[in-house]
């Protein structure tokens, strides 16, 4: 019985190591994060905590100046910001096609560290 418990703990620890290594690959990549009030933040991915809060470095905020759909976007520089996981609605990462495939395999897992609606953007 104890061996089964130890094996289960090792498997879950191995899954965490895999998630951590995938998150490390995203460090300092350009990331676009959308929040529930309609704003977007673009910055370099700096870190993420266990709760899924994201810190972006050299972040710029983009927001609509009017409530109508095709409205111009206003931007302002913010620097280092924390985006709570509870506010996040989308998360896009600039990466290569191979990295996209790797990240998509993470999305198939139940608890994706970035967000349930996480997408990736192809690097040009």
What's the pTM value of the predicted model, to 2 decimals?
0.65
The token duo for 98 is: 């191979």
Span 10-25, pLDDT tens digits? 333 456 787 788 788 8
Please give the Cα distance from 73 to 75 (Å, whole number).
7
Pairing of strands 119-122, 88-95: parallel
Q: At what angle do helices 2-25 and 97-107 cross, to 10 degrees?
A: 140
Query: For the domain bounded by 2-122, which CATH number is listed?
Result: 2.30.30.100
Q: Does 5 have pLDDT greater than 60?
A: no
Which position has the token pair 């990549």? 29
Please give the Cα distance from 76 to 59 (Å, whole number).
9
């Amino acid at each position: 019985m104890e061996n089964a418990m130890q094996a289960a703990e090792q498997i879950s620890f191995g899954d965490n190591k895999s998630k951590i290594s995938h998150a490390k690959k995203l460090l300092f990549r350009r990331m676009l994060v959308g929040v529930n009030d309609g704003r977007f933040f673009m910055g370099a991915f700096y870190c993420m905590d266990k709760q899924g809060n994201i810190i972006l470095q050299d972040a710029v905020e983009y927001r609509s100046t009017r409530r109508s759909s095709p409205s111009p976007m206003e931007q302002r520089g913010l620097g280092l910001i924390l985006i709570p996981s509870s506010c996040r609605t989308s998360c896009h990462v600039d990466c290569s096609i191979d990295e996209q495939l790797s990240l998509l395999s993470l999305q198939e897992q139940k608890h994706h560290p970035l967000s349930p609606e996480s997408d990736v953007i192809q690097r040009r």
